[in-house]
Amino acid sequence: MAHHMGSPQKSGGRRSKALWIVPLVILGVLLAVYLGGVVAFSQFLFMPGTTLDGRDVSLMSVDEVAAEKAGDLDGYQTHVTGDGVDVELRASDISLAYDGQAYAREAIAQTNAWAWPVELAAGAGRTVSAESAVVFDRDALLALFQPSIDASAQRAQELGASAITYDAEQGAFVLSDEVAASYLDADALVDALSRAFTDRAATIELGADELANTDDALHAALDAANAYLAAAGSSLVLDGQQARTVTADDVAGWVSVGDDLTVSVNQDAVGSWVEEAVGSLNTVGSERTYTRADGKQVTVSGGSYGWKVDEGSAASALVDALNAHEARQVEVPYSQSGQVAPDAGGRDWGQRYIDIDLSEQHVRMYGDDGSVIWESDCVSGDHAQGYDTPTGVNQINSNMATGDVQLRGLDYNGDGEPDYISHVQYWMPFVGNLVALHDANWRSSFGGTVYQYNGSHGCVNLPKDKAAELYGLVKVGDVVVTHY
């Protein structure tokens, strides 16, 4: 009886177990379908309703989209130009194509494959975009530019040092356009063309970055030449006053590039420039032009006053500045100085000076403010006898004297005695102790044309009262300008 009652209990347990297995199986199937969709829509197929860069790619495979994208550059060609470069390039020459696989993979990664059931049920479209990278044969690409590189390299060898020229507009040394292509930077070139290919550019202009491979002797020489330009702005300074400034164009004229591409300073060229520049500072005896306070234009030369400068030392100091690649103030050494640095006309004295106008037979003294503080008619050297007062720029010297000053003439007649002996009260010499401004009490008239037939032996004669006034004003070192 107990055994008979147990059989129905076992049968009920099997039916109960079967009931909960079925949902598990269904759930497993649904999970497999879901995961299969995730894999498919994340790796192989674009979901329905997907638009990629304006193209409908619904249910297209990654490989199909990749192949289609890769073919977009079929038939593409471009014209590449630049200094020394002119290349017609076709896609087929370099196996140029878009990287279709990378493009398609980037695009499909933007879809939410994990939510594919929801997105399909919603029926909503989706828009994605991806970068269009390009692939090509790098060696084949560079080979297209090799003829330009070889031709330019040959030209560079022919030009030698002349391949480096100075561009005044840029203020720098540059390479000749004829040799630029021999210095293409391969990496920069590939990068620039890659970007242009991606944009399907019809023309490509190479710039400085692509033409700037500086790892060579010619560029090293170019850099060395440009380094000297740092000395532009150097100046020649005369007694604290700037006399001349060095420009970049000046420096360029001094830099020498040898056939072996060594770069140096041409010291002779620097010396010539300094001689020309400082030569105008050597004013002793030189021609000077100035405008007198009353407006008269005066040109005068001769005399012992002015600057005597050491051109050689100045040139050497300037060469040192060039070799140091820096701008410097170069003090110009001098053995004799004027009062101020000469201006454009050569005047190198201040407002205070004595002006002896031989054509007017008139003497003026100007004060520190440039105004006339004394003036008088005079009589200068006898023109008819050849005793003309020497013209030039001189100074009142330390032989000044007052009292009974005896003037003894030279012995021109050869009798062993001075040609004349005169006595004056005020002696203000400006050419040694031979030519001076002084009183002449033996004269009754001054100015006019007296000097042409009854002039002095070279001195400048003044009325006694005027000579006394002038003697009270002048001092040793005052500049005396004697001119017509």
332 and 360 share one domain: no
Give the pLDDT confidence score for residue 54 in this predicted structure: 82
Domain end call among 278, 302, 336: 336
Q: What is the CATH number of the domain that holds 398?
A: 2.40.440.10
252 and 307 share one domain: yes
Residue 434 falls within a domain, yes or no?
yes
Distance from C-alpha of 411 to C-alpha of 174, rounded to nearest angstrom: 71
Residue 458 falls within a domain, yes or no?
yes
Domain end call among 336, 369, 389: 336
327 and 406 share one domain: no
Range of the domain at 368: 353-483
Residue 6 falls within a domain, yes or no?
no
359 and 422 share one domain: yes
Residue 65 falls within a domain, yes or no?
no
For the beta carbon of residue 297, count every other beta carbon within 10 angstroms. Answer: 9
Domain end call among 336, 371, 399: 336
321 and 430 share one domain: no
What are φ and ψ of residue 469, in 5° steps? -60, -45
Residue 383 falls within a domain, yes or no?
yes
Give the pLDDT confidence score for residue 290 in this predicted structure: 97
Tokens of 260: 């072996």
Residue 247 falls within a domain, yes or no?
yes
Give the pLDDT confidence score for residue 442 in this predicted structure: 94
Q: What is the CATH number of the domain that holds 269?
A: 3.10.20.800
390 and 478 share one domain: yes
452 and 357 share one domain: yes
pTM of the model: 0.55
Give the pLDDT confidence score for residue 158 in this predicted structure: 77
360 and 475 share one domain: yes
Give the pLDDT confidence score for residue 159 in this predicted structure: 78
Residue 96 falls within a domain, yes or no?
no
Residue 3 falls within a domain, yes or no?
no
Q: Considering its fold, how many domains does the chain have in total?
A: 2
Distance from C-alpha of 13 to C-alpha of 345, rounded to nearest angstrom: 130
358 and 476 share one domain: yes
pLDDT values of the chain reduced to their tens digit, one per residue, 484 residues: 344 444 444 555 566 666 678 677 777 766 766 676 567 677 878 888 888 888 888 878 888 888 888 888 888 999 999 877 889 999 999 999 888 888 878 878 888 767 667 677 676 678 888 887 889 999 999 999 888 878 777 777 777 788 899 999 999 999 887 776 666 778 888 999 999 998 889 999 988 777 766 667 888 899 999 999 999 999 999 888 888 899 999 999 999 999 888 999 999 999 999 988 887 889 999 999 999 999 999 999 999 999 999 999 999 999 999 999 999 999 999 999 999 989 989 999 999 999 999 999 999 999 999 999 999 999 999 999 999 999 999 999 999 999 999 988 776 777 777 777 889 999 999 999 999 999 999 999 999 999 999 999 999 999 999 999 999 999 999 999 999 9
297 and 357 share one domain: no
358 and 473 share one domain: yes
Only one residue has tokens 């997907």, namely 50
Give the pLDDT confidence score for residue 4 in this predicted structure: 43
287 and 381 share one domain: no
Distance from C-alpha of 39 to C-alpha of 159, rounded to nearest angstrom: 65
